[in-house]
Structure 1
């Protein structure tokens, strides 16, 4: 069982497998570790070493999925498709790969990028919050964004509803830089109301995804996407979050990777402040202004 081109470099083989859409982030990491150890390992050997022999059914399913993908389109055809759509490809083997991802437990092996990839060279701050922010949350964000972008901080979020959308839009409106990391292919918009914003960011800012073209916004993509948001930046700022929100998941992922987390306190009677107040109680930095955020970032 071999892919259709034996003469590809390790980098190109990794890109090809990411483009197929059948390899999970964990399996992509296994491919990377295997081929950097021995570039001549066969796919069959790699699958066998990744999936326990006791789970022969899973092994066969993965092998069949890969074989089907190889027959569907060659590396050259896929590569041309991405070139036509002006999508850049960043891999863990590249010098420009972000240090934050490199030093994380499950780094993305291949990331698809549309826009200004040089934004990754600037100091980044992830900003997350509720999809249905209160007037308080909106006011906090509108007050904090301008001073942060004025200091050259690139703001990272997930192009979702609510706080995410406001982070990106406000950054652009204030002449700043922003990066969106999404849980679908770059040719898919979710939610649909962010279609114009995503197109603008792909042209003028930066939108990134671990998932190849055509990938739908599956529910299980978003926790994986959140680890990329958390690990790309120096720190994560949480503005409003319920007790079991995706924003809190992102914050906890940041904490697990020894990243700083800042939280804006809120009304103790508001469900959207439960998550942020719990973070502060657990040791997250309590920030009341953009000045607080900048001072915290300077200590790193």
Structure 2
């Protein structure tokens, strides 16, 4: 694990995109810390003030202090170069250079992993559809991956736990800012016996743009993603689009044409997503 990379990941002035660019130009980070200001500007198109701010913040951080704090809070971390890094996530175009996690990282290596996302306000039909579709997957040892959000996400995690299955939650923001707060008890359960992942340092509060970033990790960790009840403009459809861009399967559960919360899923089917009426429609896409 590269300590320099770890500290750079904690610098507020260093975005995920910049961190990936730095790694592509200088994977060992041997060159990076010897660049002169004008070379930073040439490589990364930064103004001198930002370069100096990043350098100052970097030198203010202590690897040992952060490591000690995270160890006390049972927060683990790994880089893209580590063997334990989720293999499916390595395949996407923009894998996080760093991951922070609590729980069993081996779950992210499961050959049977499926993403489940949907509305924050599921109807009775949505709840029944979720249980009908994913219960057999759980009983057949599929790891259920979702985003710890209110609604379908939380229900998918809870169903996995109640049925003695395994689940992975991907969160926006860091571990010291679990969102939404009402799902803190569920998060604690997942941390204890399952797995929670974040690409953000633990002290990072969730921001609006973190949620679509999180969604690409849900689809990236999964062989396919199931969409259950989604409006035409929703985060679930962003996840579906990201799954397609990652060359992953997209499954959509159809709904009533009179239900606004099914408009997005029905549109996905119209545009080529696989219509799912029972679990066999998912299983048949993964022979063996």
Partner of 1:278: 267
Residue 266 of structure 2 aligns to a residue whose secondary structure is: helix
Residue 228 of structure 1 aligns to a residue whose secondary structure is: helix
Q: Does the 8 A contact of 1:30 with 1:50 survive in 2?
A: no
Residues of 2 paired with 1:256 and 1:127: CA distance? Answer: 17
The alpha carbon displacement at 1:43 in A equals 6.6
Partner of 1:96: 84
Residues of 2 paired with 1:162 and 1:43: CA distance? Answer: 49
Which of the residues 56, 67, 76 maps onto 2:56? 67
Which of the residues 14, 23, 42 maps onto 2:5? 14
Where do 5+ consecutive residues of structure 2 fail to align?
none
Q: Does the 8 A contact of 1:19 with 1:78 survive in 2?
A: no
Compare 282-291 and 90-99 and name the one that shifted more: 90-99
Residues of 2 paired with 1:220 and 1:38: CA distance? Answer: 27
Q: Does the 8 A contact of 2:255 with 2:265 survive in 1?
A: yes
Residue 297 of structure 1 aligns to a residue whose secondary structure is: coil
Partner of 1:185: 174
* Structure-1-length-normalised TM-score: 0.89
Compare 269-278 and 92-101 and name the one that shifted more: 92-101
Partner of 2:41: 48
1:118 aligns with 2:106: yes
The alpha carbon displacement at 1:37 in A equals 6.2
1:158 aligns with 2:142: no
Residue 32 of structure 2 aligns to a residue whose secondary structure is: coil
Partner of 1:82: 70
Residue 192 of structure 2 aligns to a residue whose secondary structure is: helix
Distance 1:289 1:220, change over 3 A: same
Where do 5+ consecutive residues of structure 1 fail to align?
1-8
1:223 aligns with 2:212: yes
Partner of 1:260: 249
Q: What does the per-residue CA deviation read over 1:249-278, in whole Å, with 9 as the maximum and x for residues that have no partner?
A: 000011111111000011111111111111
Which of the residues 19, 27, 31 maps onto 1:28? 19
* Structure-2-length-normalised TM-score: 0.93
The alpha carbon displacement at 1:147 in A equals 0.5
Distance 1:62 1:138, change over 3 A: farther
Residue 104 of structure 1 aligns to a residue whose secondary structure is: coil
Distance 1:50 1:80, change over 3 A: farther
Compare 288-297 and 210-219 and name the one that shifted more: 288-297
Residues of 1 paired with 2:250 and 2:203: CA distance? Answer: 33
1:245 aligns with 2:234: yes
Q: Does the 8 A contact of 2:11 with 2:57 survive in 1?
A: no
Residues of 2 paired with 1:279 and 1:43: CA distance? Answer: 49
Residue 219 of structure 1 aligns to a residue whose secondary structure is: coil
Partner of 2:200: 211
Distance 1:164 1:103, change over 3 A: same
Residues of 2 paired with 1:119 and 1:210: CA distance? Answer: 17
Q: What does the per-residue CA deviation read over 1:229-259, in whole Å, with 9 as the maximum and x for residues that have no partner?
A: 1111111110110011000000001111111
Residues of 1 paired with 2:34 and 2:216: CA distance? Answer: 27
Q: Does the 8 A contact of 1:266 with 1:276 survive in 2?
A: yes
